């Protein structure tokens, strides 16, 4: 599952620690189509790492790819060893490896707290050319692996009288990778958004912080029918999430 804006930062081959033989080089890496990788508590996640490789003799492919948290070196992603290459020219190909995450692996990924494995990850890759040239690149790209989140909205009373107050409740939770359950996420700024009936877009009305167990609650004065929802923009380690809208009509 992907979420959020583009997350890839390409580190040039000259900037990354690298060694090898010959002139084969990695010129670009795109992780998960440029999106964050979001992992929950049960669903297996697969994503692509696309590596653009260049060599005068042509490209043979990827011989190794690994990825893990940049700050602590822990990871829980596997590569099955296969990749597919699409030839773009006589010297350049894009080779793609599929990475797999089974959440059941995550609790054993860190001996202190597996949740700290979320955040900025790096990619290491070894590539090979048709003439036997090879290149081993460490920290050649960065992207984010985030804990999945959930968000609910419940507006009451329904229906509501014009000019009366509406109470909008909700709850923000996120995946805990230690016990593979969702726990409340407290102290987070969440936006309450409103879309008038027949309208095309939501607009932010106010920002509320989550309390105990990730609960949200606020009051608004209703002037016309419409839908209410909560929006959480996410953090470096937790995915953004938008709740389903709760439509409220007037009496």
Domain span at residue 179 reads 149-248
Clarify whether residues 92 and 165 are in a common domain: no
Gap between the Cα atoms of 200 and 231, Å rounded: 16
User: CA 97, CA 4: separation in Å to the nearest integer?
Assistant: 22
**What is this structure's pTM?**
0.91
The CATH code of the domain that includes 171 is 2.60.40.730
pLDDT at residue 111, rounded to an integer: 87
From first to last of its 251 residues, the chain has per-residue pLDDT tens of: 444 444 455 554 444 667 889 999 999 999 999 999 999 999 999 999 999 999 999 999 999 999 999 999 999 999 989 999 999 999 999 999 999 999 999 999 988 999 999 999 999 999 999 999 999 999 999 999 999 999 999 999 999 999 999 999 999 999 999 999 999 999 999 999 999 999 999 999 999 999 999 999 999 999 999 999 999 999 999 999 999 999 999 99
Number of domains forming the structure of the chain: 2
Query: Is position 3 within any domain?
Result: no
In angstroms, rounded to a whole number, what is the distance separating the alpha carbons of residues 102 and 81?
A: 17
Tokens 């987070």, located at residue: 188
For residue 6, the model assigns a pLDDT of 43
CATH of the domain at 36: 2.60.40.1220
Q: How far is residue 212's CA from residue 191's CA, in Å, rounded to a whole number?
A: 17
Pairing of strands 36-39, 2-3: antiparallel
Mean model confidence pLDDT for the chain: 93
């Amino acid at each position: 599952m992907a979420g959020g804006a583009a997350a890839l930062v390409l580190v040039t081959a000259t900037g990354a620690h690298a060694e090898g033989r010959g002139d084969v080089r990695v010129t670009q890496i795109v992780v998960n189509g440029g999106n964050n990788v979001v992992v929950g508590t049960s669903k297996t996640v697969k994503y692509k790492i696309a590596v653009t490789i260049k060599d005068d003799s042509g490209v043979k492919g990827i011989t190794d790819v690994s990825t893990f948290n940049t700050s602590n070196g822990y990871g829980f992603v596997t590569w099955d060893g296969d990749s597919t290459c699409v030839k773009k020219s006589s010297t350049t190909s894009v080779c793609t490896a599929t990475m797999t995450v089974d959440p059941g692996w995550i609790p054993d990924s860190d001996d202190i707290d597996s949740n700290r494995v979320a955040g900025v990850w790096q990619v290491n890759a070894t590539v090979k050319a048709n003439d036997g040239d090879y290149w081993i690149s460490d920290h050649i790209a960065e992207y984010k692996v985030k804990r999945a989140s959930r968000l609910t909205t419940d507006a009451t009373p329904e229906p509501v009288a014009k000019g009366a107050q509406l109470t909008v409740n909700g709850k923000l939770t996120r995946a805990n990778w230690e016990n593979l359950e969702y726990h409340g996420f407290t102290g987070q700024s969440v936006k309450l958004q409103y879309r008038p009936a027949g309208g095309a877009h939501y607009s932010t009305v106010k920002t509320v912080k989550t309390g105990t167990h990730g609960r949200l609650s606020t009051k608004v004065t209703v002037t016309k029918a419409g839908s209410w929802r909560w929006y959480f923009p996410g953090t470096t380690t937790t995915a953004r999430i938008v709740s389903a809208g709760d439509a409220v009509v007037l009496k």
